Structure 1
Amino acid sequence: MHNSWMLRRRELLGLAAGMAAAGALPGCLSRSTRESNAGTLDARTFTAERRFLKTRFGRIAYVERGSGPAALFLHGFPLNSFQWRGALERLSPDRRCVAPDFMGLGYTEVADGQDVSPASQVEMLVALLEGLSLPSVDVVANDSGGAVAQLLVTRHPERVRTLLLTNCDVESECPPPAVLPVIDMARDGTYVDAWLTPWLADKPLARSEVGIGGMTYSHPSQPTDEAIEYYFAPLVRSPRGKAWVHAYTLGLEKNALAGIEPALKRCRVPARIVWGMADTIFSPSSADYLDRTLGNSRGVRRVEGAKLFFPEEYPDLIAEEARRLWGVASR
């Protein structure tokens, strides 16, 4: 796995260098791709619904839809809350859905000098919940957001009613080996310009085997042009944005879940695991680890052919599993 990412890194760096030598990276293409998760919120609507909550951590960007008991959606790296647009639209009739952008990613405006490690992200979320008058939430999480979710449920169990985890870090894979080259690049200050900037400029490259699409999405049409723009534009277009991405990435280097297993075993929060079995970042065996470790696991659903960011591609499946965990009748 590690060697595969190193090879992809070399290929992409070589491609980016070649384009730079030719004069410039390609501009944004007009090609439109068809959403595999049709019927989801578009970027214009999502942007219009974005809100900010001022906290000591900075101005936290989030999107909120629906009413009733609250659900909190935690995105992956290097994405933002737009990852959950399909799930929010489907689940807003059942829950007050809140999807924040983590510090260092998306549109959250981080306070100067703020730590953005997973532990600090947990405390930011607690401040967000307090600011929104949400005593407890149903948590749905993916990727590095899943590590934050595990910290949240063990450190603040009163805040979490249920926990739905998709492919994410576990104690033995935090970070997973595949992410180590990205951390190395972040330490050198090269990650954004080596990977994210070329992907933003050349959408087909982003969907290729050496791009985020081939690495982490199941369908070759993903992520769409719109999603690529929404995810990467705020990260690459200012020195401050780049610095925060690198800070977030370096925050993944230390195992944030070290020693968490006893607390997970004591956890009585109802939990469900939904795992993409074609993921090359997190091991399929990690789903079984969570199932036998979480004290109140409701089992594992394995999704054949699905890679890391499948929750974005299969919002109907996420909605189905969430409603089942929440005890809400299917629609």
Structure 2
Amino acid sequence: MFLRVEASPPLEVIDLPQGQVSYRAAGPQASDRPPVVFLHGLLVDGRLWAAVADLLAQHGVRSYAPALPLGAHPAPMRPDADLTPRGVARLALDLIAALDLRDVTLVGNDTGGAIAQFVLDTDPAPIGRVVLTNCDAFDAFPPPPLVPLIRALRHPALVAAMAPGLRSARLRHGRFGFGPLASQPFDPELTGSWVRPLADGRIRRDLAKVARGIDPNDLLDVSTRLKQTAGPVRVLWGDDDGYFPVDLGRRLAGAFADATFETVAGGRTFLPLDHPDRVAAAILATT
């Protein structure tokens, strides 16, 4: 059985200072529950959250899943766009402002969890509460096993040389690809669509800017100010993750003034795909 993403809402496009950003909205337009904004990691897009968004919609929650410029985005950003982690956090804040969202529940996974921490450090005003699943934290940015990948992504020419091989689902789903990130097999169509944008040199340029901006010292510095986060935080962590160990998640929860920590048995990095019910329940519990 594949980790499929069933029919999802059509992409909407919004103009931001950094360029055109696509996003999918789910749930009722009029809701008395706080809106949810999802942040994903490198080389995937907002469909990572599709099943979670569907479950939230059943409870009357409106959510937004942007395709952040992290390598699987459909359109390149402007050449002068700041795509450092803090720059991507500013993009997320610009999206929240453009959509006129307030009291947002911010949800992050993988690199998106690090971006969420940069959002809190940059401008926490529109954020009411936070849910973090397996993600970068402190100086594990990236975690040690992923350092070689981040170094490779800094070089567009190297990514261009790698891209043809990624047409093979067997390689994409192997131990050096998406395979270890979930406990169930991936849908080849989904992962193929995630790597297809790398054929565009401008997408590779954007990805290289992000990778070059990743500095563990920056996220470690942010962690010293997470106690200032005013709203509640829930940290939900898969306990079978080879990249983000449980101790990292527990330590991250301890960095906030008001946080709960919970594990998911057998969960890996892509918790929103493997266990969307648990992620949706964690989000609903904060509102």
TM-score, normalised with respect to structure 1: 0.79
Superposed, 1:56-71 pairs within 5 Å as: 56-67=17-28, 68=31, 69-71=34-36
Query: Which residue pairs with 2:124 in the alignment?
Result: 157
- Deviation of 1:251 after TM superposition, in Å, equals 2.1
Distance 1:172 1:238 in 2: 31
Is 1:279–2:241 an aligned residue pair?
yes
Listed one character per residue, the Cα deviations across residues 85-105 of structure 1 (whole Å, up to 9, x for unaligned) are 111111123321001111243
Superposed, 1:141-152 pairs within 5 Å as: 141-152=108-119
Amino acid at match of 1:178: P
Query: Which residue pairs with 1:16 in the alignment?
Result: none
- Deviation of 1:41 after TM superposition, in Å, equals 3.0
Query: Which residue pairs with 1:185 in the alignment?
Result: 152
Distance 2:241 2:164 in 1: 24
- Whether contact under 8 Å (1:175, 1:255) holds in the other structure is no
* Structure 1 residues 255 and 144: alpha-carbon distance in aligned structure 2, compared to 1, 3 A threshold: farther
Q: Identity of counterpart residues, as a percentage?
A: 24
Query: Which residue pairs with 1:100 in the alignment?
Result: 66
Superposed, 1:228-307 pairs within 5 Å as: 228-234=191-197, 236-253=198-215, 255-297=217-259, 299-307=260-268
Query: Which residue pairs with 2:133 in the alignment?
Result: 166
Is 1:127–2:94 an aligned residue pair?
yes
Amino acid at match of 2:27: G
Amino acid at match of 1:168: C
- Whether contact under 8 Å (2:154, 2:207) holds in the other structure is no
Amino acid at match of 1:212: F
- Choose the corresponding residue for 2:39, options 67, 74, 84: 74
Amino acid at match of 2:20: R
- Choose the corresponding residue for 2:190, options 227, 234, 238: 227
SS at match of 2:114: helix
**Which 10-residue stretch deviates more, 150-159 or 55-64?**
150-159
Distance 1:113 1:246 in 2: 13
- Deviation of 1:108 after TM superposition, in Å, equals 4.4
Distance 2:214 2:229 in 1: 24
- Deviation of 1:36 after TM superposition, in Å, equals 4.2
- Deviation of 1:191 after TM superposition, in Å, equals 4.8
SS at match of 2:2: coil
Amino acid at match of 1:66: G
- Deviation of 1:289 after TM superposition, in Å, equals 0.8
SS at match of 1:92: helix
- Whether contact under 8 Å (1:192, 1:245) holds in the other structure is no
Structure 2, unpaired ranges of 5+ = none
- Please tell me the root mean square deviation across aligned C-alpha atoms, in Å: 1.9
* Structure 1 residues 190 and 53: alpha-carbon distance in aligned structure 2, compared to 1, 3 A threshold: same
Amino acid at match of 1:81: G
TM-score, normalised with respect to structure 2: 0.90
Listed one character per residue, the Cα deviations across residues 109-152 of structure 1 (whole Å, up to 9, x for unaligned) are 31122121111111111211111111231011101110111121
Structure 1, unpaired ranges of 5+ = 1-33, 327-331
Is 1:320–2:286 an aligned residue pair?
no
Distance 1:167 1:104 in 2: 17
Listed one character per residue, the Cα deviations across residues 167-187 of structure 1 (whole Å, up to 9, x for unaligned) are 111113122212211122123
Q: Kindly tell me the number of residue pairs found equivalent between the two proteins.
A: 281
- Deviation of 1:75 after TM superposition, in Å, equals 0.5
Q: Which has the larger radius of gyration?
A: 1
Amino acid at match of 2:144: P
* Structure 1 residues 91 and 313: alpha-carbon distance in aligned structure 2, compared to 1, 3 A threshold: same
Is 1:90–2:58 an aligned residue pair?
no
Distance 2:162 2:243 in 1: 17
Distance 2:57 2:209 in 1: 33
* Structure 1 residues 120 and 159: alpha-carbon distance in aligned structure 2, compared to 1, 3 A threshold: same
Amino acid at match of 1:279: D
